[in-house]
Structure 1
Amino acid sequence: MSDSTGPYAADFELDGPPEAEFNPGIARRMAHKTVAAGALIRDPAGRLLFVVPNYKPFLDIPGGIVEPGESPSAACAREVAEEIGLELTPGRLLVVDWTPGRGPWSDQVQFVFDGGVLDPAAVIRPAANELTGFRWATLEEARPDLRPSVHRRFALASRAISAGQTFHAEFGHLLSPA
């Protein structure tokens, strides 16, 4: 929440009143990055759940853009519910990856959370306004339908699950364990 009524109300109270802007307009002139969050969801066979967006030519994982005042984990849960109809509590943070701006998209900070292993009986309902479907595939099976940088990010996320670590990356290249 961006105000003092949400889950961090006590923290807002402890921090005191908002900081005054000493140079009027400076905050509006500063760069703003897009933040996105997604869930790496697996089936019992270890395949990954990919969504097929109707607004770009590549596969992705369930997730999306973090709204102003929303935390990345809350955005992940909201986006998974909106995109595929699953109520999910995001697990451990697997990867934080910075991606440069490209085409119509600004540079982004991407959070990938552990979405867990989905029960085979779970019903997946792709949102028709965003997706044309979904697909279960191994990372290698999906490789032709992923941008190389996205493939690298998801490979790091898969590695983070087995390593029990969180990775810091830029453009899908590992910088360090966080």
Structure 2
Amino acid sequence: MTLEDDLRAEGAPEKEFHAGVAACMPRKRTAGGALLRNSSGHVLFVVPVYKPTWEIPGGIAEPDESPRAACERELQEELGLDVTVGRLLVVDWMPTHGVWGDGLMFIFDGGTLPDDFASKANVPAEELSGIRFLPLDQATDHLRPSMNRRLEQAVEAAADGSTRYLEFGRTQ
């Protein structure tokens, strides 16, 4: 079944009982990222040119794009990887902060890459100044605290087979 088949099976969309209500409802930002590691378990980080902190590969979902699809699209765009990501490791709710409204961040298991991947990858210079594998504790100074907490939980979830729900990188 395709998404279009599923939407057809849903039947006609629900009608608005009070015109304009749907347009007034909040929309959450969603993003999908991949926890990619090398054979030593070091995490792959991307170094964006447009902000001072590091990230894992992934990005914000476009309209009508799932977090998984956004993650896979960004892996292709940023790293040239044509992969299907694995299981969901973490869902993290992020509160409104500055110009960014609240959102849901999804981290999927991206699996293991060859140890020399970071040195051989052709990254888009307009978006990234580099990529590198590092143990999480060596990347902490380059991450926002919430990202560091989220990644600690993702690494643990990958190891123990769990999926974790977080709020601002913390378990509840």
| TM bin (shorter chain) | over 0.9
For structure 2, the 5+ residue unaligned runs are none
Distance in 1 of aligned mates of 2:129 and 2:98: 22
| The one of 137, 155, 158 aligned to 2:155 | 158
| The one of 160, 163, 167 aligned to 2:164 | 167
Q: What is residue 3 of structure 1 aligned with on the other side? A: none
Q: What is residue 104 of structure 1 aligned with on the other side? A: 99
Q: Post-superposition shift, 1:164?
A: 0.2
Distance in 2 of aligned mates of 1:107 and 1:57: 21
Superposed, 1:83-162 pairs within 5 Å as 83-120=78-115, 122=117, 123-162=120-159
- Opposite residue 37 of structure 2, the aligned amino acid is R
Distance in 1 of aligned mates of 2:141 and 2:157: 22
Superposed, 1:27-106 pairs within 5 Å as 27-106=22-101
Q: How many residues align?
A: 170
Distance in 2 of aligned mates of 1:34 and 1:51: 21
Q: Post-superposition shift, 1:121?
A: 5.3
Runs of 4+ in structure 1 displaced over 6 angstroms?
none
Instruction: Say which SS state the counterpart of residue 69 (structure 2) adopts.
Output: helix
Identity fraction in percent: 48
8 Å CA contact 1:51–1:135 kept in 2: the answer is yes
Distance in 2 of aligned mates of 1:101 and 1:80: 26
Cα offsets for 1:12-36 (capped at 9, x unmatched) = 1211011111111111111111001
Q: TM-score, normalised by structure 1?
A: 0.91
For structure 1, the 5+ residue unaligned runs are 1-5
Q: TM-score, normalised by structure 2?
A: 0.94
Distance in 2 of aligned mates of 1:98 and 1:124: 31
- Opposite residue 14 of structure 2, the aligned amino acid is E
